[in-house]
Amino acid sequence: MKHKIKVLLALMLLTIIFLFPGTMTICKNTHSKAYGYDNYSNYYAYGYINWIFKRQWTGGSVKFENPNPDYETPNSGANQTIWCSTNSSYTQWVEAGYAKGKQGDSNARYLYWASGRYDNNGNLIEYSEGDCSTPPGVPGLVHKYTIIYYDNPGCFMLFIDGYLEQTYSPEFKKYIRKIEIGLESQDYRNVCGKVHPYQMSYFSENDNSWHSFAQANPKVYTSARLYHFKWGDSRHKDYGEDWIE
């Protein structure tokens, strides 16, 4: 009889895992990836270092070299990004980075911030983005991007090179569940050679200090290297590949 109950419980567990695959992603090892997908009929391609955990983490930081040579974005934009989820969720986030190209000006270069929230039912609550006041500087120049939650005044803040650039809405609540660092292109025809992150780190409230990604537990991060992204052609929009130098 006990055996039957065990089998029954195992079946229940398997059913839940099958129906909610997200429940098993806690220890997923994603390393560096690049892939594209047809998102609302736009083309996005991602390269990211993904790191999933359940900890009391309240900040993420990275040093990015401005792309050198710069992105070629004749048709649409591209950006390198630090992306931090908020509110212990995967559906609310704040982000910042370097961007090339914007509406009506494919040569525009700027540092940007953005944030967005969906509810648990997949309904979009809000999305916003804007330019930072720090000028991007020349290709190859390094900027440090830090997103961190401060209890007082009670919101996430974005620092670029140590200067406060933006404060986010208090609706983006404490605790980061995932940090992504990488490259995004909104058109497969863009030329985005590489992204070079340094000193990727997270802030832990447990000991009130910064740690490198490599110290993450579970440890799913590989060291800071040059990540290259090669986009698929127009016939293979959902395909991309990357390699590490």
Partner 1 sequence: MDIKSKRILIILTIVVVMLVALLNAYPGKTRSAKVVDMSSITLPSYQLPNGYITKEQAIRIAVKAAEWHLHKGEKPRNIQCLLLPYGIGRKILYGIPSVSEKQFKSLEKGRLNKEELNQYINKYYERDSKLMYFVIMDVNRYPGEVFMRFPPNPKFKPRLIDGKYLTTQDTYVIDAQTGNIIEHGYYGIVKHIYPEQK
Residues that bind partner 1 (CB under 8 A): 1, 4-5, 8, 11-12, 15-16, 19-20, 35, 37, 39-42, 44, 46, 79, 81, 83, 85, 90-93, 95, 103-104, 112, 114, 116, 118-131, 133, 150, 152-155, 157, 162-164, 167-171, 180, 184
**How many other CB atoms are there within 10 angstroms of residue 126's CB atom?**
12
CA angle 158, 46, 121 (to 5 degrees): 75
| Structure tokens that stand for 58 in this block | 């309240």
| Nearest distance from C-beta of residue 184 to partner 1, angstroms | 6
Cβ at position 122, least distance to partner 1 in Å: 5
Q: What are phi and psi of 233, to 5 degrees?
A: -85, -175
Q: What is the spatial distance between Cα 34 and Cα 181, in angstroms, rounded to a whole number?
A: 12
User: Cβ 203 to partner 1, closest distance in Å?
Assistant: 13
Q: Identify which of residues 119 and 215 has a Cβ nearer to partner 1 in the complex.
A: 119
> What is the number of other CB atoms lying within 10 angstroms of the CB of residue 54?
10
Cβ proximity to partner 1, 130 vs 245, nearer residue: 130
DSSP single-letter state for residue 213 = G
Give just the sign of the alpha carbon dihedral 141, 131, 202, 217.
Answer: negative
Nearest approach, Cβ of residue 121 and partner 1 (Å): 3
CB-wise, 66 or 91, nearer to partner 1?
Answer: 91
Compare residues 128 and 215 and give the one whose CB is closer to partner 1: 128
